[in-house]
Structure 1
Amino acid sequence: MERIYLDHAATTPMHPRVMEKMLAAMNETFGNPSSIHSFGREARHRIDLARERMAKSIGAKEVEIIFTSGGTEADNMALFGVAESYQANGKHIITSQIEHHAVLHAGHKLEKMGYEVTYLPVDETGRVSVAELKNALREDTILVSIMYGNNEVGTLQPIAEIGELLKDHQAKFHTDAVQAYGVEKIDVNECNIDLLSVTAHKINGPKGIGFLYARENVKLAPRQFGGEQERKRRAGTENVASIVGFHEAVLISAEELSEKRNRYMGFKETFIQKLREHRIDFALNGTLEHSLPHVLNLSFPGTNVEQMLVNLDLAGIAVSSGSACTAGSIEPSHVLVAMFGKGSERLINSIRFSFGYDTTTEQIVRAAEETARIVTRLKK
């Protein structure tokens, strides 16, 4: 039985080209990038090339890219770094109720440290209201953190409109783009974004490496201390092999971006069409119009999420009930709670299907048909 992996929003398999580049780097580029001899200079050169490409991918400057251990560290560096640096200007922060826990839990910690955090609600499609954000803005607001695209339901936020709103305000604008980077065209200048978080393992790169974009004029208090790496913003010897792999993953993700987006959107349409052919009762969580192309979250009335996940896994299909970072938790999805309320049946019957570079139409058809069979069986 062929196993089908449809949980790319949780993590992605490393691309063969990425592994090849990393193995070569581990064999050949082992010098410390801070060393002045040829081995160190070679390592530094590989980092510089990667930083240049990553900056270019979002319209940034090379000096604005800070390598981190992943999206969680990038989010934490943005929130705590800005909060500490700008507390003299105010202690009010705005975010949303559907952020990744790397942002939400950072917000809870900041509240304990004396900051005031406003958590904006979302509508039933998972989008924040720019008007509500405008009403929540205050003179002492120093940071607004709204994710680019949601990891559970795929909803894209009105990032450009938020950036325009904040253009003449003192608040810095951070967006967690972990799920959107590599599938959405992102330009930090067009959207007036001050800080942006990315991780490699969502785009077929290695785990444990990411970056934070921080606009050149943004003050950012460091979160760890030691050497002078990353322009004194993030101490620690750089993870050269992973940065090389990350670099290759960024190059791959940029190839045929429009074609890839269209293919993923086609997968969504095929999956939904197959369910309709089998007369399955389901509802879309989120929206197709303002959505990441690779994330499809569906509610199946009359089913139970744990039964669905187990049965799909037995059928060789790997999917998820939402965020991989809360796997094993019996708590309902905070994203679905924000969208539909605590009493909604969708909290216990929603499944996330997410696609990647090696997903095929044949796999989508089989997964949809297996899902239809399982739903029919469970509802009898």
Structure 2
Amino acid sequence: MIYLDYQATTPLAPEAREAMLRWLDGPEGTAFANPHSPHRMGRQAAAAVEVARERVAALLPPGGRVIFTGNACEAVNLAMRGSAPRRKAGIAFTAVEHAAVRDTALALGQASAIPVGPDGVADPDAPLPADVGLVAVMAVNNEIGTIQPVDQWRERAQRAGALFLCDAVQACGKMDVPAADMIAISAHKMHGPKGIGALWVRDGLDLDPQVTGGLQEGLRSGTLSPALCAGFGAAAQVALERRAEDAAHVEALWNRARELFSGWTLNGSADARWHGNLNIRREGLDVARLMSECREVMFSAGSACASGSGKTSHVLRAIGLSDAEAKTAIRVGFGRYTTIDQLERAAALIDAAAEGQRA
């Protein structure tokens, strides 16, 4: 099988796996303790958690703290709901935000979507509501890879007296994460384990807890998993060390992919984009049939979070595609462990199946 769905999740880095194994010892081991226990084994586990926290923090701006969460969706909810009592009620978010941001904003009320152009980019001069208290702009879109002008949006939010939230799930470990008031990230999108994410909160900003109980993280309750934290930390360290190498590899894959899929139409910007994301469409394509006929290639028809919903992608609609056009799109995602040979074999299979439909 050929895996080309890096936006849904990434393969676990060997270094992350090794870091995790130590903290999965059974009853004969010494590394299974609760990191919140005061005894020696608990303190050892707590030390591992703090090492991991420092490694994750190294990928993020200075002047803030890392709060471990169960995933990025929880981090987004903690940011948006936890800041509500300390800001104006209005929330503005780009029309291409992940559902974690979009649905939470709608649930909280007084939400408004910021339109994007055909390239998927939101203009920082777009109007904001007068009562805006929170602006949410993602760094890299999960469906079409668009890179937003986050620094300009942060300045815009500051001028409006609003807090600024950045979903950096698809950016963290791949590029500099821009400054914000709050930043949500996820381990499994950067070759770490599933089941752990983090919210970075700038110094001086207080949030209200959304999961209460023991408040082990100071702002979030629940026993931390030293294994998951260690895996996250190791993945962060490797991402930092390999960032230039990984970026060069992705660029080579992107250039080859553009050649291989030259007969397809690119969705979103080719330039303001993370080049590990190739979202393309072909007129008249039956995507469900294509995926059935290419079972050896793991690619996507859109966001993994919305798969099976039957709904047209809100991201593709936001860049001006009709429902019919959006339903002919596929997403091919690649990264660190993808080879040129795998990409070429996958493209041959996908193209042959697509041509078969036309015939």
Which band: TM-score by shorter chain?
Answer: over 0.9
> Deviation of residue 240 (structure 1)?
1.3
- TM superposition shift of 1:76: 0.7
Q: TM-score, normalised by structure 2?
A: 0.95
> Who is 2:317 aligned against?
337
SS in structure 2 opposite 1:225?
Answer: coil
1:39 pairs with 2:41: yes
Partner of 1:54: 56
| 1:69 partner letter | G
Distance 1:260 1:197 in 2: 22
In the alignment, what sits opposite 2:17? Answer: 19
CA distance in 1, matches of 2:286, 2:171: 29
Q: Distance in 2 between matches of 1:155 and 1:214?
A: 24
- Partners of 2:56 and 2:232 within 8 A in 1: no
Cα distance between partner residues in 2 of 1:9 and 1:99: 14
Listed as ranges, the matches of 1:209-228 within 5 Å are: 209-228=196-215
The one of 117, 121, 126 aligned to 1:127: 121
Give SS of 1:130's match.
coil
CA shift for structure 1 position 368: 1.6
Whole-Å Cα distance in 1 between the matches of residues 122 and 215 of structure 2? 39
Native 8 Å contact 1:312 1:319 kept in 2: no
Instruction: Give, as a single letter, the amino acid of the residue that structure 1 aligns with 2:138.
Output: M
User: 1:88-167 alignment to 2 at 5 Å?
Assistant: 90-111=88-109, 116-132=110-126, 135-138=127-130, 140-167=131-158
* Matched residues, number: 355
Deviation at residue 77 of structure 1 after TM alignment: 0.7
1:254-311: CA deviation from partner (whole Å, max 9, x where unpaired):
12212211211221211121233xxx3x110012211112111001112111112212
Counterpart AA for 2:57: A
Q: Counterpart of 2:75?
A: 74
Q: Give the CA deviation at 1:166.
A: 2.7
- What does 1:298-337 align with in structure 2 at a 5 Å threshold? 298-313=280-295, 316-337=296-317
Amino acid at match of 2:98: H
Per-residue deviation, 1:84: 2.9
Q: Which runs of 5+ in 1 are unaligned?
A: none
Amino acid at match of 2:82: G
> What secondary structure is seen at the aligned counterpart in 1 of 2:92?
strand
The amino acid that maps onto 1:371 is I
Pairwise CA RMSD: 1.5
Report the CA distance between 1:137 and its aligned residue: 4.5
Cα distance in 2 for residues equivalent to 1:222 and 1:199: 19
Q: Distance in 2 between matches of 1:308 and 1:324?
A: 17
Q: Deviations over 1:332-380 (max 9, x none)?
A: 1110011124x35321110000012210011111112222211211111
Q: Which residue of 1 aligns with 2:266?
A: 284
Task: Return the letter of the residue paired with 1:83.
Answer: A
Distance in 2 of aligned mates of 1:145 and 1:83: 13
CA contact (8 A) 1:199 1:209 kept: yes
Residue 8 of structure 1 and its aligned partner are, at CA, apart by 1.2
- Paired position in structure 1 for 2:251: 265
Distance in 1 of aligned mates of 2:159 and 2:217:
29
Give the gaps of 5 or more residues in structure 2: none
- Distance in 1, matches of 2:213 and 2:161, equals 31
Verify the 8 A CA contact 2:187 2:193 in the aligned structure 1: yes
The answer for the alignment partner of 2:230 in structure 1 is 244
Q: Which residue of 2 aligns with 1:229?
A: 216
Cα shift at 1:317: 0.6
Q: Secondary structure at the match of 1:125?
A: coil
Q: CA deviation at 1:91?
A: 1.2
Asked whether the equivalents of residues 246 and 335 of structure 2 are also in contact (C-alpha less than 8 Å), the reply is no
Percent identity (aligned): 34
Say whether the 8 Å CA contact 2:211–2:220 is kept in structure 1: yes
Structure with higher helix content: 1
Q: Which amino acid aligns with 1:312?
A: C
SS across alignment from 1:322: coil
Distance 1:124 1:187, change over 3 A: closer
User: What amino acid does structure 2 have at the position aligned with 1:130?
Assistant: P
1:378 is aligned to 2:357: yes
Q: Is the 8 A contact 1:85 1:221 kept in 2?
A: no
1:204 correspondence with 2:191 = yes
- What TM-score, normalized to structure 1? 0.90
- 8 Å Cα contact 2:250/2:336 also seen in 1: no
User: Quick check: 2:260–2:344 contact (8 Å CA) kept in 1?
Assistant: yes
In structure 2, C-alpha distance between the alignment counterparts of 1:34 and 1:261, rounded to whole Å: 38
